[in-house]
Amino acid sequence: MALTAAQIVTRCCAAAHAPGFITQCGQLLNMVLGDLCRTYDFEIAAKTAYGNFVPGQITAVGNLGLYGSGPYALPADFLRMKDDHSAFWVLPGSGVPYLMIPCDLSEIDMTVQQAGSQSYPYVIATDMSLTDNATPVFYVYAPASGAYPYTIRYFSQMADIATPETSAVVPWFPHQGYLRKKVTAALMGEVDDDRQAQWDQEADDDLREYLKLKDNRSNRATTVKLDLRRFGRSYSNLRNTKVVGWSLALLSVLPLALRMHGAGV
């Protein structure tokens, strides 16, 4: 049976010989859980966001006027997209999904934004800066020409457990052996316990073993991923330097090859 947050805190305090550090131990438990979200991608922490584009939206961002490109709000717990196929929209009535390829925000900055440029969005960029926005946002290009419904699958920052030292909530991370050892090691650091390094190493070993088979992906084939804007079914997707440059290089060495062949080299 899974231990509750309060039970984990009690066991950690006992193992660290720090019975008076209940509150601190609860804080450390939330810290460890938060670090796991920020460091690793766990399916158990994955979520989905839905929405619709607003083609008539005109937003002033700096000196740039955005015509339907955004910004569109992301969930407050958004950390990063699951993969390069996790952002798409569907053309109403057809049921056809259209992929949006992740790119850097600087690429959106270099796009032409003017009235009448609306079309089918094919790239997406997230802005995690909270300077100008209350939550993370995203931009798309081309600006949407209709109120198409979009889907974004992402890894989230899981919420802290309220007062974990007394909470009956079971922590979201399933490997409780790791949690107990890692939190105990962190608490040992608070009380200058010489066993901290050993417990911390044992916790990391447990996590390493868990990561090998996490998320039921052991039966998936690993494939090489290339930028969908540059590599596809046709060489026409490549930059000119990748096509023309190679052709010119071939032509430059062809006369030499023919002369060598004629000379019997």
Structure confidence by residue, pLDDT tens digits, 96-107: 999 999 999 888
Least confident of 27-36, 38-47, 84-93, 246-255: 246-255
Query: Which of 215-219, 231-235, 257-261 is modeled with the greatest confidence?
Result: 215-219
pTM across the whole model: 0.79
At 77, is the pLDDT very low, low, confident or very high (cuts 50, 70, 90)?
very high
Q: Collect all residues with Cβ–Cβ distance below 8 Å to 243 and sequence separation of at least 6.
A: 235
pLDDT of residue 89: 96
At 227, is the pLDDT very low, low, confident or very high (cuts 50, 70, 90)?
low
Q: What average pLDDT does the structure give for the chain? A: 85
Instruction: Indicate whether 124 pLDDT > 80.
Output: yes
Kindly report the three-state secondary structure assignment for every residue of 204-251: HHHHHHHHHCHHHCCCCCCCCCCCCCCCCCCHHHCCHHHHHHHHHHHH
At 70, is the pLDDT very low, low, confident or very high (cuts 50, 70, 90)?
confident
Instruction: Indicate whether 244 pLDDT > 90.
Output: no
pLDDT of residue 238: 55
Instruction: Indicate whether 150 pLDDT > 80.
Output: yes
pLDDT in tens, 179-199: 999 999 999 999 999 999 999
Least confident of 21-30, 63-72, 124-133, 207-216: 63-72
The C-alpha atoms of residue 168 and residue 187 are separated, in whole angstroms, by 21
Residue with tokens 């850097």: 104
pLDDT of residue 204: 97
Q: Collect all residues with Cβ–Cβ distance below 8 Å to 56 and sequence separation of at least 6.
A: 68
Q: Are 72 and 81 in contact (CB under 8 A)?
A: no
For residue 219, what are the β-bridge partners?
none
Instruction: Indicate whether 245 pLDDT > 80.
Output: no
Residue 199's nearest CA partner among 187, 179, 186, 181 is 181
**Residue 115 corresponds to which tokens in the numbers above?**
């009235």
Domain ranges of the chain: 5-42+173-216, 45-156, 230-265
